[in-house]
Amino acid sequence: MDGSSLLERYLERCDGQFKDDLSTSPQLFTPMSPYDVDLPIQTTEDVLFGSQFNQSKELPTDFSSVDLSFLPDITQDNKEQNLFEDGHEMQKELDGSTSNEDSSILTHESSLAYPDASQATEASGVCPPLTPMAPMTPVTPASESSGIVPQLQNIVSTVNLACKLDLKNIALRARNAEYNPKRFAAVIMRIREPRTTALIFSSGKMVCTGAKSEEQSRLAARKYARVVQKLGFPAKFLDFKIQNMVGSCDVRFPIRLEGLVLTHQQFSSYEPELFPGLIYRMVKPRIVLLIFVSGKVVLTGAKERSEIYEAFESIYPILKGFKKAS
Amino acid sequence: MAARGSCPGCGSAALVEDSHYAQQQLVCAACGCVLAEGLLTTTYAEEEHLREVAYSQSTGQKEQLSRCLQRGIRRVQDLCKVLQLPTVFEETAVSYVQRALQHPSFHLVSLEKKELLGGCCVFVTCRQHNWPLTMGTICSLLYAKQELFASVYLSLQKELGLSVPALSLADLVKTHLNSFRLFQHTADVPAPFVENKEKVVARTMQIVELASETWLVTGRHPIPIVTAAAFLSWQSLQPAARLACTLARFCKLAGVDLPPPAHLRLKELLEILLRMASQLAWLRVFNMDKKTVVKHIGDLLQHRIFLLKNAFCPEDEEEQRAAAPGEASPGSPGAAGGAAQGEGCPSGGKRRPLLPPCLINPRKRLRTAAPSASDSAVTGEEPISDSEIEQYLRGPEEIRAFRKAQAWL
């Protein structure tokens, strides 16, 4: 049957590890939020899911009539916003098509999972890599999905203004600039919105720090370039590049750092005499994580936002393993 | 005098050392060809006097190594002698020093840092052989600043790709207590203060294990914990005579430094012990305080597993109790399980979760809230108003005033 071969293909792609865990952890859909309805079908395998829907008889057939083509192929950054939109759209459509309330849709959703589990006993309704905004991640069992999103705390970017600058002149004529050539060979300029600091060198190169997002960093850099322009220099805005991104989050449980350094010796460096946190140098993606006993994690060294999210999703199951049940 | 080698001319082995006037020569007895001149001097004095061999070609082994390397090797050898390390350690450390100084990243490092390289290599060697050596010891031996040592150590670890196992606390306890001077009768130590070393070591190890189980050790400097644990164990072995002695006096008598965090560690340890004491049946009748609990440390340590389980609720219970009301999902087994477990923790008695002190007493969070929706709507390409930029520029009068002010400074 067409449905079963498609199903098999889909199941092959999902990690086999999931087989055991779905049957043992029925709280797969526990951390539900309003947009959970569209989660299992967010990928291109929506056709498969449609076939799965058809297999369960007790479900309303309204799901199969739902048009899923509106779900775009989206990048990491936009996924958060799109999920909100998609979730609400889905809700509206379902509400319109059925007379059930939201809660019963949700229960239908969960009952969908169980019959699938019993039928297929394999990964169902869980897709290949989702964004961290999704309560579920694919290869790990649901009990290990983090549901935590690291927040960006600092972005460092560089831009080339492509003109020689007279730093003394800038420091004299700008209010927000400080220049102390004996201490450092650059002008330190600050603006209030977005709250950032820039180091402006006489060669025309500039470093902008303190922004909380890539767009804010770009806006801030443009503002600094404008200030320099207004001071009379022919500043341009060339080669804007994000050099480093720092994020932080809290896993909400204490971590046995001594245990972690024993099992992951090749990546970790834990020297309590030097620094209270464990320095974990992840290879893929190339991110450095500072892990503290309180459960707070700082991720740095990323050039892209997705690297931070990916790194956190990789480290979360490892840290969960050290959540000591005392 | 027989010399090595054979004559390149005739192949005979009959080489003779002879002097032509005052110059030593190696001559073949068969054909008379001169093999070498000035080869056979053995002392510097001879050479300097005769100026036969260039200084850079002397046979001294040391001159082939750079001065930096020589100094590094000598430093390593001295350190190993002072710390009485086995010879294997010395060889390993010397090889590390050689590798490090040949590594390009250490060529341009300041001299001060190069001095510390020898110490770092000894430290790494000791750690790899599980020999408990703290950075504090090495720093004091090298008269080095802790931060400088730390940076050299970290760069050494990264460049050479060395894997350094963690410091084992058990061994550290033994070595640290070795330096305490309370185990023999000496003039300045009163009689009731002298104690049997094995007993103190054993009890200190138990207290340190207890500290590591209750999250007092992770992320903290190890030596203050060992000092505080040693003080408690020493006091508890003869509480009558020793309760009056303070931690500072104890360290002075023992001849060790009192690290500043030791007082805090002592306070934390006593708090843990007091909570454990509240669960011990025959101690409940007493009103325990920080002084009296010391007398019962022996009992507390003996039953510590049971007492820890009863005195502290599991750390995730706090979480689940907080999370359960927050979860809106209907009929989810997770929330139900959490609620049931939350009831399991007895409501009577002040049980607190077993968490690191930084989570029990969190400092006020000065961090700003998560970025609002309006922040996330920034695209980076918005137009920038002139007025906004102008607020950052000085007017002409302001510039004049500023120039005048600067002239005064």
Q: What is the pLDDT of residues B19-71, one digit of tens each?
A: 777 777 778 888 888 877 765 555 555 555 555 555 555 665 555 667 888 88
DSSP H stretches of helix in B54-168: 67-83, 87-102, 111-128, 135-142, 146-160
Instruction: List A residues 212-231 in contact with B (Cβ-Cβ < 8 A).
Output: 212-219, 222-223, 226-227, 230-231
CA distance B240 to A21: 59
> Does the beta carbon of A258 lie under 8 angstroms from any beta carbon of chain B?
yes
Q: Which residues of B touch A172 (CB under 8 A)?
A: 394, 399, 402-403
- Low-confidence stretches of chain A (pLDDT beneath 70): 1-145, 324-326
Quick check: B154 and A270 CB within 8 A?
Answer: no
- Residues of A numbered 177-216 whose beta carbons fall under 8 angstroms of chain B's beta carbons: which are they? 191, 193-194, 212-216
Beta bridge partners of B34: B27
Contact B314 A218 (CB under 8 A): no
Ranges of beta strands (E only) in chain A are: 151-160, 177-179, 186-191, 196-201, 205-211, 238-250, 268-270, 278-282, 287-291, 296-302
d(CA A266, CA A260): 11
Q: Residue A181: phi, psi to the nearest 5? A: -60, -25
Residue ranges of chain B whose pLDDT lies below 70: 1-5, 38-65, 315-350, 365-376
A contacts of B409 (beta carbons < 8 Å): none
Chains A–B, number of C-beta pairs less than 8 Å apart: 148
CB-CB neighbors (< 8 A) of B165 in chain A: 265
Separation between Cα atoms, residue B223 and residue B201, nearest integer Å? 14
> What is the structure's pLDDT at B344?
38
A102-136 pLDDT tens trace: 444 444 444 444 444 444 444 444 444 444 454 44
Contact across the interface for A230 and B154, Cβ inside 8 Å: no
How many whole angstroms separate alpha carbon B45 and alpha carbon B56? 15
Q: Residue B315 is nearest to which of A216, A254, A273, comparing CB atoms?
A: A254
Residue B36, strand partner residues: B26
Confidence (pLDDT) at A78 = 46
Best mutation target among B389, B402, B404 (most A Cβ atoms within 10 Å) is B389
pLDDT of residue B202: 92
Q: pLDDT digits over A10-44, tens only? A: 666 654 444 444 444 444 444 444 444 444 444 44
pLDDT of residue A10: 62
Write down the pLDDT at residue B163. Answer: 79
The token duo for B348 is 């009577």
**Predicted local distance difference test score (pLDDT) of residue B307:** 86
- Our CA-based measurement puts residue B67 at a distance from the nearest CA of chain A, in whole angstroms, of 30
User: What is the value of pTM for the model shown?
Assistant: 0.65
A-chain CB neighbours of B334 within 8 Å are 27, 30
CA distances to A58, A174, A221 from A228, rounded to whole Å, are 68, 9, 11
Chain B interface, mutation test: which of A79, A200, A274, most B Cβ atoms within 10 Å?
A: A274
pLDDT score of A174: 92
Task: Using CB atoms, pick whichever of A32, A218, A294 lies closest to residue B358.
Answer: A294
Tokens for A8? 């098999």
**Rg of chain B (C-alpha set):** 35
Residue B99 to chain A, least CA–CA distance (Å): 20
